[in-house]
Amino acid sequence: MKKKYLIKKQGRMFKIFETYTKQFIAQSKNKKDLMKIMRNLNKGGFFNGDTPRFMLISGPIPIDGQKNSRNI
């Protein structure tokens, strides 16, 4: 089974690459944060390998590694 998402390094940034649409969907300087997200994506999270282009008009989503402190 071919992976739907891969991590590629560009300069000092790591980016999650969606293989079906050939676009970068997220980026971070911290590879570990992206690995966690990528595992979820490869299991079927988000758009399951077919992210609409309009969601990435301003480029890949920046991931800062901040934790959500709100309890919902």
- Segment 29-66, tens digit of pLDDT: 999 989 999 998 888 877 777 888 888 888 888 888 66
pTM equals: 0.79
Distance between CA atoms of residues 68 and 64, nearest Å: 11
Report the amino acid identity of residue 50: D
Q: Where are the beta strands (DSSP E) in 1-72?
A: 5-10, 13-18, 23-28, 61-62
**Res 72: pLDDT:** 47
> What DSSP designation does 67 have?
P
Question: Which contiguous run of DSSP H or E holds residue 35?
Answer: helix 31-42
